[in-house]
Structure 1
Amino acid sequence: MREQHRKWRARIGPEKIRAANLWKKYRITPEQYDALREAQDYRCKICGTHEDDITAVLSGRPRLDGQQTAEPARLVVDHCHSGRRVRGLLCNHCNAMIGQSRDQPAILRAGAAYLEGAVRCIPYASRRG
């Protein structure tokens, strides 16, 4: 089965693999992804960082055949896990923040309140001695 999958991937190429992944995971096409990017002015929907200023995160392992993989997306698809709907495109940091909060706005609000209330931070000794 693994060998069949490898042959299929080699036959269709990186762009079609990307299209298949977008459809399988989020039920969107590459054109819909690009339309979202344009609608968001190529920026993270939360922090506003432009995709050119985001370091692309390489995922997965290197190809065994040495061929180039598709360019990794700089803005990742954020989706609602319960309703299976795409919410927008985020940078990896904001996407991780949403995931770590378990998609619960109350946790994010509590985190913001904590940061805003932490005006007086307790200094700690440096390790340099």
Structure 2
Amino acid sequence: MDKTCPQCQRSLPRTEFHRNRRRVDGLAYYCKACATTRSEASRRKRGVAPARRSAVPVGQGLKWCPDCERIKSLDDFPSTSRKASGRHSYCKPCHNARGKETAQRLYGGTREYHLRRRYGIGQAEFDELLAEQGGVCGVCGDPDPEHVDHDHATGWVRGILCFNCNGGLGQFRDSPTRLARAITYLRGTTWQRVLIHPGVYQMCSPTRGRPPSRRF
């Protein structure tokens, strides 16, 4: 059954309408051609410039970048699930440059952008947390830690840690049980120098009978 577009008043096949699951008939209100025209008119009204096109034909497996105006392989464009083509509009160098420019313009730099996007805090909150810890890592006490530690289940920020401590907690999956077992393991397998004869010592472990591994 055909459908009439209220814009152009034409009776067209259903394939000439985009799908829209929110409507009763499952189709868009306007036909594809009219929908495109209306979308472009709306973009012009909002001050959005027309999309630029390559002056030369773009071959199969290639894509044109509007920023550097070069035709490159599809592999040179970041992948995305938000576009039908599966690729971003700009090549990787231009895409990264645009991201840095946006972060600088909206957040004052990539550091602020990263903190807010990843942890929901800014540099001011980071500095405040670090000051509360005395300017040192919340675990080992080394000075000038740079990494935000957060609960992977809730996303809540717990403190500021150095690289090693932050990575260590992640390797132990933030599990107190695993950390407690690791402590027990270290204490139970500590090699000790035991006097077996006057002037003669032997390295032994209370839980192991084999020689210790070499230290380095």
Do these two structures clear the TM 0.5 threshold for a shared fold by scoring above it?
yes
Q: How big is each residue's C-alpha offset from its partner over 1:32-88, in whole Å with a ceiling of 9 and x where there is no partner? A: 00101111111000111112xxxxxxxxxxxxxxxxxxxxxx420000011010000
1:7 corresponding residue in structure 2? 98
Q: Does 1:107 align with 2:178?
A: yes
1:123 partner amino acid: P
CA positional deviation for 1:10? 4.3
Q: Percent identity?
A: 30
Alpha-carbon distance in structure 2 between the residues aligned to 1:124 and 1:35: 44
More strand by share: 2
Which of 113, 124, 135 does residue 31 from structure 1 map onto?
124
1:70 corresponding residue in structure 2? none
Q: How does 1:81-92 map to 2 (within 5 A)?
A: 81-92=152-163
More helix by share: 1
Q: TM-score, normalised by structure 2?
A: 0.44
Which of 146, 163, 178 does residue 75 from structure 1 map onto?
146
Alpha-carbon distance in structure 2 between the residues aligned to 1:125 and 1:17: 44
Shift in alpha-carbon separation, 1:124–1:16, aligned structure 2, 3 A: closer
Greater relative CO (CA pairs within 8 A, separation 6+): 1
RMSD between superposed Cα atoms in Å: 2.3
Unaligned runs of at least 5 residues, structure 2: 1-89, 192-204, 206-210
Q: Which runs of 4+ in 1 moved over 4 A?
A: none
Q: How big is each residue's C-alpha offset from its partner over 1:2-57, in whole Å with a ceiling of 9 and x where there is no partner? A: 31441341472895211111000000011000101111111000111112xxxxxx
Q: TM-score, normalised by structure 1?
A: 0.71
Shift in alpha-carbon separation, 1:32–1:123, aligned structure 2, 3 A: same
Alignment coverage as a number of residue pairs: 104
Unaligned runs of at least 5 residues, structure 1: 52-73
CA positional deviation for 1:106? 0.5
1:17 partner amino acid: T
Alpha-carbon distance in structure 2 between the residues aligned to 1:88 and 1:45: 7
1:27 partner amino acid: G
1:91 partner amino acid: C
Q: Does 1:17 align with 2:110?
A: yes
